[in-house]
Copies of this chain bind each other. A is one copy, B any other.
Amino acid sequence: MKNYITHDEWCIVENGFHPEHNEITESLMSLGNGRMGGRGNFEEKYSGKTLQGNYVAGVWFPDKTRVGWWKNGYPNYFAKVINACNWTGIDVEIEGEIIDLNTAKVHEFTRTLDMRTGVLERNCTIELSSGKTLKIHSQRFLSLVDDESGVIKYSITPLNFLGSAKVTVSLDGDVSNKDSNHGEKFWNEISKETGHGEGYLTLETKKSVWETVPTFQVCTGMKFDVYQAGEKIDCQTFPIKKEKYVANEFKINLEEGQEVSIIKFAANLSSENHSIAALGENTKAYVEKVAKKGFDAMLAEQKAAWAKKWEGNDIQIEGDVAAQQAIRFNIFQLQQTYTGEDARLNIGPKGFTGEKYGGVTYWDTEAYCLPFYLSTSEQKVARNLLVYRHNHLQKAIENAEKLGFFGGAALYPMVTMNGEECHNEWEITFEEIHRNGAIAYAIFDYIRYTGDSQYLAEYGLEVLTGISRFWAQRVNWSADKAKYVMLGVTGPNEYENNVNNNWYTNYLAVWCLKYTLESFESLKAQDQSRFDEIIGITSLDYSAETQKWQHIIENMYFPYDETRKVFLQQDGFLDKELLTVEDIASQRPINQKWSWDRILRSCFIKQADVLQGMYFFEEDFTVEELRRNFDFYEPMTVHESSLSPCVHVIQAAKLGIKEKAYEMYVRTARLDLDDYNNDTEDGLHITSMAGTWMSVVKGFGGLRVKNDKLSFEPFLPEQWQGFSFRTGFRGNSLNISIKGNTIEIENIFGNEISVLVYGKEVVVAKNSSTSVTY
């Protein structure tokens, strides 16, 4: 655990340079605007520890799958979001010495990410080996408004000398991915061009051996101006062209105490959004447009755009600056990762903050991220996350066919970029099929929240049908049990592999069949022709198929312990030695200290599994049932997935186990800021940040939707004086404040609304607020 980030309500601040943590800081200071993003690398050369990273959303490379022993059914490639052209470079050489914070003496240093505005700023004073001392001040942001562009204002001020500087402003496409096979680079150069104070570089991803996978072109452009003492000046620039690299170099005279600034406007346009023929021209026009707008105007727009986001987003925590900073950091990162403008994009586990896990989509999106966007963003944002999966339905059907399923059965991939499976561990790729259920559940969750039941007819039911067909084939009849069973699965708890009858997966499958059947019936009543269209995907006879589904619904096997009256995570769970986390305190984390087989045969749980199911379907269970299962499983849960604690916060909150809820919350909130798991240097845990948000809003706030109404069952952690959060709901925008035993509901926008507080209906008039003491 690290503790070098200054606690501040709105900013992430590194006070004093910590080169030993530089890769962590680079992750924490990442910027994004949904369309592009990158790590908080320095603009100028840095020879110390650094992980360069710039990413263009939707641009990836199919890197050959690497395995020890090939298993039938493995995918051919792993889609990776790739490190793209570094557009941030501004190198400065002062009389033979290149500015490099790794070699210079750093006298003063602050690096600040202002979450109110999405601006990364650095102020430092350094001394070169010649004794020359200068100030560097840089500001950088990725525009939310012009979301294919970024801008930098980079200034130096000589403090004790006059002389000259050589400045190189570059676009560098000669980059690689840290985790590529054999260090292979993924880009080819297509063209490059330089002009006076400008440069353009078009790169194309390498043609892969997988012929169906497209290549992508990205044109990166830049234009820069130079200012001295606040005046724009005209410097003679010299073009430099190298393989996959263009730059402009110029010399400038430095006066002691006089600031020299370079304002660099850059844009990344990709062939995902522009025709290849027009890519170069469009990039030039784009750079021209933003340069014309100018730094100050862009910054003003940026501030306004972020302010608007925060209006619908913010969570305030009173009396705990560290918690306040953490929750805002999580919200900020989620918002800059996915803006919901483009249904072809999704949320990678590291967002734009690193390349680990390939930037691909997991079930995290549906199970953890969706509720965040439902509450905090326009409806279309969550809807686009759902449409993303609808767009991949055909690929999911093909994926299922590869594994022997038929008749339109769909298995969504564990990890994907374009709908094709990319994971390559059999126990996950082929067996962690509960992801299919989470995708179905998200449709239900979205409609429950938004009331947009039209989505079902338009898109949702096609997805549900494919998924239900999968479940109906994936179970088999056990003559021995005289029940349907589901063999060979891996549940959310990945510390069990290839188990039979994972309770969570079985429950999800049956729920899914039921929900699909109900949705069929309601659609049939409303829109016979659309119903016919969906059913008609295959020639299977509707009534035979749905009778089979009904039979499964009525005859599914669920492992259960009659003695303890708890659901069993899977068959044979009680054969394990039932220890608790306290018994193995010194041996944690077990994923670092134990061999894999030992983990597998232990009772220890990586992340909520039965409890995850009871969270999804809480209305099916009594509080006493929940308590028995929580008391049984919670002591065995090691939470070695960052996605685990949030569910425990929500369940503990519901059960009134306040200390446990808070303890779990703390574990997730500052995961990256304090580098709990020693891996923030690889990038941030973006999807688990949504879990942190859920911990506050669904856990402490107790937010649910019940019978088309928002419902709250809040409790205030003792460590806080109060907290408040914003949430949207069907045209209303509410601010919810909890203080003591009182909840105040402010109806900021929208008509009168009726909500539930601990089950009691509360009406809040338009533009007014109501307090309820519970």
Q: Which A residues form the contact surface with B (CB < 8 A)?
A: 65-69, 71-73, 182, 402-404, 424-427, 430-431, 476-481, 485, 487-488, 497-498, 500, 571-572, 574-578, 591-601
Distance of A439 from chain B, by nearest CB (Å) = 19
Contacting pair B68 A404 (CB below 8 A)? no
Contacting pair B601 A68 (CB below 8 A)? no
Of B182, B477, B488, B597, the residue contacting A601 (CB under 8 A) is B488
Of B66, B426, B591, B600, the residue contacting A596 (CB under 8 A) is B426
Contacting pair B479 A574 (CB below 8 A)? yes
Stoichiometry, copies per complex: 2
Residues of B within 8 A of A404 (CB): 594-595, 598
Contacting pair B574 A424 (CB below 8 A)? no
A-B contacts, 23 of them at CB < 8 A, read A65-B68, A66-B66, A67-B67, A68-B68, A68-B424, A68-B425, A72-B594, A72-B596, A73-B595, A73-B596, A402-B595, A403-B595, A426-B596, A476-B576, A478-B575, A479-B574, A480-B574, A480-B575, A485-B575, A487-B601, A488-B597, A497-B498, A571-B571
Of B68, B476, B574, the residue contacting A577 (CB under 8 A) is B476
Contacting pair A591 B72 (CB below 8 A)? yes
**A contact patch SS:** loop
Name which residue of chain B comes closest to A430, CB basis. B597
Residues of B within 8 A of A498 (CB): 427, 497-498, 600
Q: Which of A73, A431, A595 has the most CB of B within 10 A?
A: A595
Given A403-B598, A597-B73, decide whether A572 and B572 contact each other with a Cβ distance below 8 A: yes
Residues of B within 8 A of A66 (CB): 66-68
Residues of B within 8 A of A477 (CB): 577
Name which residue of chain B comes closest to A591, CB basis. B72
Contacting pair A597 B68 (CB below 8 A)? no
**A403–B596 Cα gap in the complex (Å)?**
8
Residues of B within 8 A of A487 (CB): 572, 575-576, 600-601
Residues of B within 8 A of A476 (CB): 575-577, 601
Residues of B within 8 A of A601 (CB): 476, 487-488
Contacting pair A571 B572 (CB below 8 A)? yes
Residues of B within 8 A of A598 (CB): 403-404
**A485–B479 Cα gap in the complex (Å)?**
24
Contacting pair B424 A596 (CB below 8 A)? no
Contacting pair B72 A488 (CB below 8 A)? no
**A424–B67 Cα gap in the complex (Å)?**
10
**A66–B182 Cα gap in the complex (Å)?**
12
Name which residue of chain B comes closest to A499, CB basis. B498
10 more contacts with CB within 8 A, not counting A66-B68, A72-B596, are: A67-B68, A72-B592, A404-B595, A478-B575, A481-B575, A485-B575, A487-B601, A488-B600, A497-B498, A498-B600
Name which residue of chain B comes closest to A598, CB basis. B404
Contacting pair B500 A595 (CB below 8 A)? no
Contacting pair B488 A426 (CB below 8 A)? no
**A599–B487 Cα gap in the complex (Å)?**
11
**A478–B592 Cα gap in the complex (Å)?**
26
Residues of B within 8 A of A599 (CB): 72
Contacting pair A426 B572 (CB below 8 A)? no
**A594–B405 Cα gap in the complex (Å)?**
11
**A177–B578 Cα gap in the complex (Å)?**
48
Residues of B within 8 A of A497 (CB): 497-498
Residues of B within 8 A of A427 (CB): 498
Contacting pair B424 A578 (CB below 8 A)? no
Name which residue of chain B comes closest to A578, CB basis. B479
Contacting pair A478 B574 (CB below 8 A)? yes
Residues of B within 8 A of A72 (CB): 591-596, 599
**A403–B481 Cα gap in the complex (Å)?**
36
Distance of A764 from chain B, by nearest CB (Å) = 50
**A612–B685 Cα gap in the complex (Å)?**
49
**A182–B481 Cα gap in the complex (Å)?**
50
Distance of A473 from chain B, by nearest CB (Å) = 11
Residues of B within 8 A of A481 (CB): 575
Contacting pair A597 B479 (CB below 8 A)? no
4 closest pairs, A vs B, by CB? A73-B595, A430-B597, A480-B574, A488-B601
Q: Which of A403, A426, A478 has the most CB of B within 10 A?
A: A426
Distance of A117 from chain B, by nearest CB (Å) = 39
Distance of A505 from chain B, by nearest CB (Å) = 13
Distance of A533 from chain B, by nearest CB (Å) = 31
Distance of A74 from chain B, by nearest CB (Å) = 8
